[in-house]
Amino acid sequence: MTTPRKRSWAEPYRIKMVEPIRRTTQPERERAIREAGWNTFLLRADDVYIDLLTDSGTSAMSDRQWAGMMVGDEAYAGSRSFYKLEAAVQSYYGYRHVIPTHQGRGAEHILAKIAIEAGDVVPGNMYFTTTRFHQEAAGARFVDVIVDEAHDPTDLSPFKGDIDIGKLERVIDAFGPARIPYVNYQATVNMAGGQPVSMANARAVNALCRRYGIKLMLDATRAIENAWFIQQHEAGYADRSIAAILHELCHFTDGCTMSGKKDLLVNIGGFLALNDDTLAARAREVVVAYEGMPTYGGLAGRDMEAMAIGVVEAVDEDHMAARIGQVHYLGDALRRAGVPIVEPVGGHAVYLDARRFLPHVQQDRFPAQALAAALYLDSGVRAMERGIVSAGRDPATGEHVRPALELVRLTIPRRVYTQAHMDVVAESVIEVFEHRDEIMGLELTYEPPSLRFFQARFAPLPPVRETVAAAETSTGE
């Protein structure tokens, strides 16, 4: 018997345009992180070597998208680029009404404005920072109904983004369907590590919502990546195309908010899509005041053109295999070296588990924030904290919200970096892991009132390891 020879995959494109990046010296990085208050958001991009802060708006467009940029129709009203975008969304996502917005949070803002009344409750599969903010600003309370497995970074279930049907039913019972304007359904779930939902779950959530007459709104930002996971791991979907799976997933929902800056391979843009005529009419009235005329929604015509082309490119099977293949390539390298990461690896990022990475740093000392800063200091790789800093404070008590997951996200922009870049990232993470005892944690020196992770500033705690580290380890944190 012969073992099948290993067959590599390669990117389904070649490089047409490049952008230089700069290596920095250790003293330069020490100065830069100090000036940035140990917050990677506040670093200047020019001081970053490999930028894994986010996959949002940082992707490389194709030559066809750039050609579309030139074709874009900048007419204020009735732009042909709008009609192209509308047709692409209707065809691939299947919703009837398409309202462009300048980015995803513009769509979230409008949905919250038209659907939520004070005192409402919005259940969802784990919070996302800007989404929860808009729900709360409109007077609603967010209730997490994700499956318990999502909170365990070592659980290997394939669909850790699923909604727990029992939890959702209990929320509906407790508050009554009239107080629930919609259920917010993320695919994939960002704060859980980019974990997908299954089609079986979408079907079940849809059935429950139908029974109570509650709308189901998809956060479709990475729904195409989610479709890839369904194709790979859900029984009966191996032979279905990503496009067909996306369409089926969407048809279980009543509309979606969308940041085109992720799946759709553009640098700016989003949309709100709805099936309900009345809700869509209200959304069009509101969009004029906040975003722009309903046929441009605050986007240049060329950006609608690029997004319309991006829809078609994003559902391409080879593209998605290479996209997620690269994320898993990095995940595999870290796992082999024993670095604690969230498993299984999701679609857009590898998440370092800062609790297990830095067991000696208690959560109040912001271990994930400290780890992101340490990684930058080692190599100029920029990552993002997704832990206690991102979770913010409880509006009622003013205390830190303490999420079960204390993570550092290494987010991979689409079509931008090569495997060699991934090797550099892995080597740096492993280096930091080997010297993890030297990372002491941080204290807050400036805290903005909302979405604090964007602009908060920190200072490193002095190295009093022998006492503090021992005490904290013994608490079993």
Partner 1 sequence: MKTIIEPFRIKCVEPIRMTTRPEREAILAAAGRNLFDVAADDVLIDLLTDSGTGAMSAEQWAGMMRGDESYAGGRSFVRFQAAVRDLTGLPHVLPTHQGRAAERILFSLVGGPGKLVPNNTHFDTTRANVEFTGAAARDFPINEGRLPALIHPFKGNMDVEALVAAIEAQGPANVPLVMLTITNNSAGGQPVSLANIRAVKAALAPYGIPLFLDACRFAENAWLIKQREPGQADRPVRDIAREMFSYADGCTMSAKKDGLAHIGGFLALRDDALAERARQLLILTEGFPTYGGLAGRDLEAIAQGLVEVLDEDYLRYRMRSVAYLGEALTHAGVPIMQPPGGHAIYVDAAAMLPHIPPAQYPGQALVCALYLEAGIRSVEVGSVMFGRPRPDGTEEPAAMELVRLAIPRRVYTQSHVDYLAEALVAVHARRETLTGLRMTNAPPFLRHFTARFEPLSPAAVSAGV
Catalytically active residues are 76, 128-129, 219, 262, 386, 453
Q: Rounded to an integer, what distance in angstroms lies between the CA atom of residue 105 and that of residue 403?
A: 23
If one asks whether residue 80 binds partner 1 (CB under 8 A), the answer comes out as yes
Shortest Å, Cβ 273 to partner 1: 19
- Of the candidates 46, 239, 399, 466, which one interacts with partner 1 according to CB under 8 A? 46
- Peptide linkage before 397 cis (omega within 30 of 0): no
Q: How far is CA 62 from the centre of its chain?
A: 22
Interaction between residue 219 and partner 1 (CB under 8 A)? no
Buried b / exposed e across 219-232, counting CB within 10 Å, b at 16+? Answer: bbbbbbbbbbbbbe
Taking the least distance from each CB to partner 1, the nearer of 238 and 401 is 401
- For the chain, the maximum distance between any two Cα atoms, rounded to a whole number of angstroms, is 69
300 scored as a contact of partner 1 (CB under 8 A): yes
Of 166-174, 205-213, 249-257, 297-305, which part binds partner 1 (CB under 8 A)? 297-305
Nearer to partner 1, 68 or 196 (CB): 68
Q: Does 468 bind partner 1 (CB under 8 A)?
A: no
Our finding on whether 290 is near partner 1 (CB under 8 A) is yes
| C-beta closer to partner 1: residue 20 or 338 | 20
Q: Is 455 in the site for partner 1 (CB under 8 A)?
A: yes
18 binds partner 1 (CB under 8 A): no
Nearer to partner 1, 163 or 299 (CB): 299
119 Ramachandran zone, left/alpha/beta (phi>0; psi -120 to 50): left
Which H or E run contains 84? helix 80-92
Residue 243: count of CB within 10 angstroms of its CB: 18
| Contacts of range 291-295, beta carbons closer than 8 Å, 24 or more positions apart | 291/100, 291/101, 291/102, 291/106, 291/110, 292/102, 293/76, 293/77, 294/99, 294/100, 295/77, 295/78, 295/79, 295/82, 295/100
Beta bridge partners of 411: 349
Least CB distance from residue 47 to partner 1, whole Å?
8
**Residues in contact with partner 1, shown as a per-residue x/- string from 413 to 452 under the rule CB under 8 A:** -----------------------------------xxxx-
Here the tokens at position 367 are: 């271990």
User: Where along the sequence are the contacts to partner 1 (CB under 8 A)?
Assistant: 17, 40-48, 51, 53-54, 56-58, 69-70, 73-80, 83, 102-103, 105-106, 109, 130, 133-134, 137, 267-268, 284-285, 288-293, 298-303, 448-451, 454-455
